[in-house]
Structure 1
Amino acid sequence: MSEDAWTGRPFTVVTDGEPGALHGAVVAIGNFDGVHRGHRRVIGTALERAASLGRKAAALTFSPHPRRFFRPETPLFSLSSDRNKLRLLAATGLDGAIVFHFDAAFAATTAEDFVRRILVEKFGIGGVAIGYDFHFGKGRAGSPNFLSFEGTRLGFPVDVVPPLEDEGRPVSSGSIRETLSQGKVVEAAELLGAPWFITGEVIHGEKRGRELGFPTANIRLDPSCQLKHGIYAVRVDMEGTRVDGVASFGTRPMFDDGAPLLEVFLLDYEGDLYGKTLDVAFIGWVRHEQKFASIDALKKHMMADVAQARESLKRSGKAFPVLGRI
């Protein structure tokens, strides 16, 4: 990770249901998929409350996403993997994250028990910050009003954060998924507060890019990824080194129409990347994926893609998500 991508703040992750060093913290509760600007407003509220009380601040989140548990037959396009969510949370100034495994037993926990037995008795929370639409507990019976009432009764402050909009667009994980499914990565970055990114290991491919003069680092994304197939300007972080690039995400209609694959051509870079893990940030849209009349026509368009990507990346400055160490 590049030095400028780390806040330097220690970050504790609790995953076994025991509070440890985060006992007594003010908690921001939510799924936090993508850790977008709306989430950061909730987190910022928790940080302010924690500072006023002289306590630590932590995110309280869930894995897997509850929607994956309740509707396993319906793929959910996750904006961030579990690990990347923690890396994003670690860069917000929080002291740590409490991750609950969302399973049948947890889903059966009533709202009353979640507040009294988990938040108060086990974690001794100093306060709670939630979004205006956060619901919890068995049957989603717990509402912001219910949590506020319980906070007053049990002696902890509850901050309910109103919705955030960006020029009339709701800042939500759902709206960001929709923009990415349309290839609108610039709009997604505006809602997120930073470019959307993925992390993956470079795998061996058919080496067609090398034969065409554009060797690529190939990464298999989660099958639930609904990013629009097409060509993108990207910025890549590999073990502390940032390199600009142009990437194709799709089924390679010129060749095999196979399973979707991300193929990243790094600009002005030479080296063996097989087995390395890359962070790939999507900076700009270049064009739709398409089938050309000949290989020569494809190569001509690929050269144009590189030129367009360079311009997009130049305009973006050093845009890249700020990530913490976990």
Structure 2
Amino acid sequence: MALSKVNAIAIGGFDGMHVGHQRLFDALGENGAIVVIETGYANLTPGSEREHYTHYPIVYYALDDIRHLEGEAFVAMLRERFPHLRKIVVGYDFHFGKNRRYSHANLGELFEGEIKVIDQVCIENDSVHSHKIRSKIQIGDLSGANRFLGHNYTIKGSVIKGQGIGKTDLVPTINLECPGYLLPYEGVYAALTRLDAEEHFHPSVVFVGHRVTTDGSYAVESHILGENIGSCERGSISFVKFLRKNQKFESLEALKKAIDDDILNARRELLHLSL
């Protein structure tokens, strides 16, 4: 859709594109667009990754480029970008302009069209915020994070060379380097892995953390369950559930036994999913 046709916008940081953000998008209507104020700290859906979680076009503004604007200049900027703008949707805690001194109440004074303010969204009496999702991911509560997100937490990256003992002594894995993303708590997860441009996911068991039993290096590695995977350049991992903490084993044999148990547990967790 051409931006010239846009008559409604939702404004925010929108890192995560979680269920609270989606409530704002639901108020846009047919000719809506999303305005992302990019702080540089987004690590749930960094950069254009947000575009995978909406059908609306997204326009990005770097916070450093607009943080000096007074309220009138901020609204003028939006009107210039969206000449047919009639409606602005924001969250209840939205602030903007120089020193964040303007709120949605000021926006209503500066903008002649409709201002739609969305109240906080709660799940099980807990308000949904990106910082809470980050906290859940950092303690391994991927089930809780996914519930707030409305989708599985997903990281993406380039396939890199591993330590080389997976295929020979343990199980074959795909190793990823995922810059820009918040990485989960160190441990083992039931997950879904997508390779290159594939449309489908592979049931997987994923390890995130330091290889304390072997070389001590940090790794994000996925073992695809029951499949032989050839070479690939890119991959994405969608975390479903935390299985166990990272731990050191006395031997490769003990590690292999733990991995076999992880595979069984991952299969059990992923069995009900329609892939």
Q: TM-score range by the shorter chain?
A: over 0.9
Report the alpha carbon displacement of residue 163 of structure 1 after superposing the two structures with TM. 0.2
Select the structure that is richer in strand.
Answer: 2
CA–CA distance in 2 between the matches of 1:301 and 1:279?
24
Question: In structure 2, what is the equivalent of residue 249 of structure 1?
Answer: 208
2:259 maps to what in 1? 302
- 1:273 aligns to 2:255 (yes or no): no
Q: Find out whether 1:261 has 2:219 as its counterpart.
A: yes
CA distance in 2: counterparts of 1:172 and 1:228, whole angstroms: 19
2:32 matched to 1:57? yes
Task: Name the structure 2 match of 1:137.
Answer: 97
Match of 2:23 among 41, 61, 70: 41
In 1, the alpha carbon distance for the partners of 2:4 and 2:157 equals 30
Post-superposition Cα deviations, 1:238-266, rounded to whole Å, max 9, x if no partner, equal 322321000000011112222x3210000
Identity across matched positions, percent: 27
How far, CA to CA, are the matches of 2:183 and 2:52 in structure 1?
22
TM-aligned CA distance change 1:136 to 1:23, over 3 Å:
farther
For the pair 1:89 / 2:54, whether they are aligned, the reply is yes
Give the CA deviation at 1:22. 4.2
Map of 2:79 onto structure 1 = 120
Judge conservation of contact 2:159–2:174 (CA < 8 Å) in 1: yes
Q: 1:22–1:89: structure 2 CA closer, same or farther, 3 Å change rule?
A: farther
Instruction: Tell me the matched-pair count.
Output: 272
| Alpha-carbon distance between aligned partners in 1 of 2:242 and 2:42, rounded to the nearest angstrom | 19
> Does 1 or 2 have the higher relative contact order (CA < 8 Å, sep 6+)?
1
- Which sections of structure 1, spanning at least 5 residues, go unmatched? 1-11, 13-19, 69-75, 320-326
| Matching residue of 2:274 | 318
SS at structure 2 position matched to 1:45:
coil
Q: Is it true that 1:98 corresponds to 2:56 in the alignment?
A: no
Give the one of 60, 68, 79 matched to 1:108: 68
- Residue of structure 1 equivalent to 2:12: 30
Unpaired runs of 5+ residues, structure 2, are: none
TM-score by length of 2: 0.93
Q: TM-score when scaled to structure 1?
A: 0.79
Residues of 1 paired with 2:77 and 2:86: CA distance? Answer: 13
The partner residue of 1:221 within 134, 157, 178 is: 178
Aligned partner of 2:141 in structure 1 is 184
1:25-76 deviations in Å (ceiling 9; x for gaps): 30011111010000000110122xxx4xxxx10000033xx2x4xxxxxxx4
Structure 2: distance between partners of 1:252 and 1:291: 8
